[in-house]
Amino acid sequence: MKELKAFFTKSPTGGIFLALMLVCVLFSSMTSRFLTTTNLSVILNQVSVNAILAFGVTFVIIAGGIDLSLGSLVAVCGVVVALLSQNNDYSLWLAIIGTLVAGLALGALNGIIVVLTKVPPFIVTLGTMTIGRGMALILSKGRPISDLNESLNFLGNGDLFGIPIPILFLVLSYGTCHLLLTKTVFGRYVKAIGGNEMASYVAGVRVNRIKLYVYMISGLFAALAGILLTARINTGQPNAGLGFELDAIAAVIIGGTSTRGGKGTITGTLLGVLFIGVINNGLDLINVSAYWQQVIMGGIIILAVVLDGLYQKLKMNI
Amino acid sequence: MAMQDCLLKIKGISLEFSGTPILKSVNLSLNQGEIHALVGENGAGKSSLFKCILGIISPSQGEIIFLNESLSGYPIREILRKGIAMIHQELMLIPELTVAENIFLGRESIAGKRMGLREINEATSDLFQEYELDIPVGAFVKDLSIAHQQIIEIMRSVSQKACLILMDEPTSSLTEKEVIFFKQLIFRLKSEGISIVFTSHKMDEVFGFSDKISVLRDGEMVGTFSKVEVNPMSLVQKMVGREMKDFYPKALSEVGQQILRVDDLSCVPHFEHVNFTLCAGEVLGLSGLVGAGRSDIGQVLFGIKKKTSGQMSLKGQAYNPENPSEALQAGLGYLGEDRKEMGIIPEMNITENMSLGLLDTYRKFFFVDQTRESADSIDMQAQLSIHSAKEGQRIQNLSGGNQQKVLFGRILLNNPEVLILDEPTRGIDVMSKFEIYTLILALKKQGKAILLISSDLPELLAMSDRVIVISKGKQMAEMTREEASPEKILEYALH
């Protein structure tokens, strides 16, 4: 009981956890189809791509930056993995590794421009977002790429020990990112430069290097998300991933990561992703029209952040 | 004291914050045209008292009477209108607006008459002429020095017909020269019948400016004194509540071998042709006005800024740090001038702040060895007597003095041979100042070479073995402790 109270009052993710539970209770009371093992598995499967993107961009946002190119990177990497695994030209492993390297390189491009030009990351990644979309169209010649290696399809739709592969990737990514942020030297540096860049530099942190790394991580996870998406729909779509960056960033913010940098958690991001996923799923189940879903979703995102702000203030007085 | 002379009377003000008493039945009275210094350690309740007067927080007990009228129950806006103004430590001006626009901000229409740009420019010019101020009314505030910005804030209060101005550490970011001007200005205000209450940690200002001095300690009013009743020593005793034998501790130690040598070092446009040497066990003071290039010398030595020409050598070896990280590895430690900007990571706790520069040495594979990290931090906290309310407290919730000690801890964990300390005691309470002086001397005794940059002349003179004076980026003089005096240093600095 004490631990439970401590979780809600001390942990930075207590607020969003409470909100998530609340919407779950709400939807379960409205429809019996919500709280079933199948449906929960569907939700996890649906959010896996957004979750993986959001984990990666959490590092960028905590370091005080932003990455708007995510959706485009998903498209480019989705096209790249499709091209590499078309007609079984290369082995699947090579295709995957090649795509991840491409993601790292595109992330590094973001990072290098941010570090060298000192142009705000918002502008830089707005630019690379457009560049990325163009590259996806160039590489695919504007057409969907099909006839992919069958083992790739397995990554998107298969399961291992009864657990869908995308969910396994979600869990694995969560664990890796959580450890990276909370336990490693790198994670500490990310929080430090987000908290006070100048002070970190003076304290001896290689600020530029760390900034480059966070964009590379963001690119790497965008590549992973691109692979999973292509695997799921079994085609490389140059128009895939439109607006994905906004969903990912929304999840990070709902999860309690400060837009000004310096603080945030991967667990919070996961809860943010689930929050968005549960609402999308629940609204579907209770037959809300797709148009209204968008209106409701936007309202809920704002409400969640406002309530979290109030909750944090309340917590201070406990 | 005639009744009409009494401008402000504070009667038995008490204030509590979540059970902790902040002010305990404080009394204070202030006459028209009086300059009153309010002194006390950080956390003694000075700012809280100001906030009570302004109505930002309402006291749990007591009464504040201004011009024979009780202020209790009035909102801030009303109280400001009655003629009380406050100059905050962090200035509250809009950088993108002009001087005149800032002065008339929120009062573009007065008594139903709309003030156009021309009218407010004229009104501001008239005001500046009256006070013999040489600041262009059309300049953008962002292009002005801190000192000028402060004057503009004061002038805003004057133009609002304030008769009581509260100033929270008004001189903390002013240079010596600016302080002299500031003094003239407040004396001018005094002659107009305006009363001023200011806080300061600098004794020469407390005694130089004020008619009366009130001492707060732990929320209690120790007393109000006239200048003849107290001296700096006894005043400090009243502030800390115990006797301090000598404010600047003394320890003579042997000066050892030369460690750092700087030849004809330039960093255009900040400074040019600077030469000095620094030995083990020596404190070299670097004096000069703010903006003269002192801080830049320290920053070039630590790799924050790049030199444009000249040589630096460390223990006989050429030394050219590309960045702070390399300087750190070469055995230098650096404490920046601005704690908030260049020092603390506000959201992080004491341990994380301390170990930041050295995390690579606490690396176990990719991970931080938190056991060793926290053991070292606890050691260092004990050594430096850092007081925190609870384990894992964020550094932003500590007092300035404790924050500064954490930053010292960060430097000392690396066990540097050369320390560059830029304004190590700025804006911290008397007790912490004393502790930092003691620490500097202990480090000196251990054979560290210390470059001390400071605007606080008594501090610089007491701590340094030698003093170098910089003016407008040029090295004006080097003198030993025996040769140096405040007058001499100022003469060179103002040159």
Say if B346 is an interface residue toward chain A (CB within 8 Å).
yes
pLDDT for B95 beyond 80: yes
Rounded to 5°, angle at Cα A240 from A236 and A241 = 135
pLDDT for B278 beyond 90: yes
pLDDT of residue A50: 95
Closest to B192 (Cα-Cα) out of B135, B130, B124: B130
Q: What is the DSSP string of A59-70?
A: HHHHTT---TTH
Alpha carbon of A263: minimum distance to chain B alpha carbons (Å): 7
Alpha carbon of B357: minimum distance to chain A alpha carbons (Å): 5
d(CA A241, CA A154): 20
pLDDT for B167 beyond 90: yes
pLDDT of residue B81: 85
Residues of B in contact with A183 (CB under 8 A): 366-368
* Helix segments in chain A, DSSP class H: 2-10, 14-30, 37-62, 70-84, 92-117, 121-140, 150-157, 165-183, 185-195, 197-202, 207-233, 244-254, 266-285, 290-316
pLDDT (tens digit per residue) in A70-118: 999 999 999 999 999 887 666 888 899 999 999 999 999 999 999 999 9
Say if B410 is an interface residue toward chain A (CB within 8 Å).
yes
CB contact under 8 A, B324 and A204: yes
pLDDT of residue B2: 41
Provide φ and ψ at A156, rounded to 5°. -90, -30
Domain locations along chain B = 3-240, 258-493
**B350: buried, middle or exposed (CB in 10 Å: 19+, 13-18, 0-12)?**
buried
Tokens found for residue B229: 């009743």
**Which residue of A lies nearest to B353 if distances are taken between CA atoms?**
A192
The dihedral through the CA atoms of B257, B263, B266, B272 has a sign that is positive
For residue A183, give the nearest of B348, B358, B368 by CB distance. B368
Q: Percent of chain B scored above 90 by pLDDT?
A: 36
For residue B363, give the nearest of A185, A196, A201 by CB distance. A185
Of the pLDDT bands very low, low, confident and very high (cuts 50, 70, 90), residue A120 is very high
CB–CB of A264/A13 below 8 Å? no
Tokens found for residue B121: 């420019």
pLDDT of residue B109: 66
The dihedral through the CA atoms of A299, A303, A304, A306 has a sign that is positive
pLDDT for B104 beyond 50: yes
Closest to B24 (Cα-Cα) out of B216, B187, B231, B300: B216
Say if B345 is an interface residue toward chain A (CB within 8 Å).
yes
pLDDT of residue B326: 92
How much is the mean pLDDT over chain A? 90
Residues whose CB falls within 8 Å of the CB of residue B378, separated by 6 or more in sequence, listed in order: B351
pLDDT (tens digit per residue) in B42-54: 667 888 899 899 8
- Find the distance separating the first CA and the last CA of chain A, reported in whole Å: 16
The dihedral through the CA atoms of B275, B280, B285, B291 has a sign that is positive
pLDDT (tens digit per residue) in B452-470: 998 878 888 888 999 999 9
**Which residue of A lies nearest to B361 if distances are taken between CA atoms?**
A185
Of the pLDDT bands very low, low, confident and very high (cuts 50, 70, 90), residue A215 is very high
Q: What is the DSSP letter of B397?
A: G
Provide φ and ψ at A47, rounded to 5°. -85, -10
Chosen for mutation from B20, B299, B348, B356 (greatest number of chain A CBs closer than 10 Å) is B356
Residues of B in contact with A189 (CB under 8 A): 359
Same fold yes or no, B3-240 and B258-493: yes
Of the pLDDT bands very low, low, confident and very high (cuts 50, 70, 90), residue B177 is confident
Least confident of A256-265, B169-178, B195-204: B169-178
Say if B367 is an interface residue toward chain A (CB within 8 Å).
yes
How much is the mean pLDDT over chain B? 86
Chosen for mutation from B18, B329, B359 (greatest number of chain A CBs closer than 10 Å) is B359
pLDDT of residue B1: 39
More confident residue, A142 or B173: A142
**Which residue of B lies nearest to A263 if distances are taken between CA atoms?**
B347
pLDDT for B336 beyond 50: yes
CB contact under 8 A, A205 and B356: yes
Say if B441 is an interface residue toward chain A (CB within 8 Å).
no
A-to-B residue pairs, Cβ atoms closer than 8 angstroms:
76
Alpha carbon of A39: minimum distance to chain B alpha carbons (Å): 38
Residues of A in contact with B344 (CB under 8 A): 196, 199
pLDDT for A318 beyond 60: no
pLDDT of residue B90: 77
Average pLDDT over residues B58-85: 87
Superfamily grouping for domain B258-493: P-loop containing nucleotide triphosphate hydrolases (3.40.50.300)
More confident residue, A144 or B357: A144
Tokens found for residue B223: 């007393």
Average pLDDT over residues A195-200: 93
pLDDT for A269 beyond 50: yes
Of the pLDDT bands very low, low, confident and very high (cuts 50, 70, 90), residue A267 is very high
pLDDT (tens digit per residue) in A34-64: 989 899 999 999 999 999 999 999 999 999 9
pLDDT of residue B390: 72
pLDDT of residue B3: 43
Average pLDDT over residues B107-115: 69
Q: Does domain B3-240 have CATH number 3.40.50.1360?
A: no
Tokens found for residue A179: 């450890």
Per the DSSP assignment, residues forming a β-bridge with B6 are B31
d(CA A103, CA A57): 13
Of the pLDDT bands very low, low, confident and very high (cuts 50, 70, 90), residue A4 is low
Residues of chain A whose beta carbon is less than 8 angstroms from a beta carbon of chain B are 180, 183-186, 188-189, 191-192, 195-196, 198-206, 262-263, 317
Average pLDDT over residues A106-134: 95
**Which residue of B lies nearest to A195 if distances are taken between CA atoms?**
B345
pLDDT (tens digit per residue) in B374-386: 888 888 888 888 8
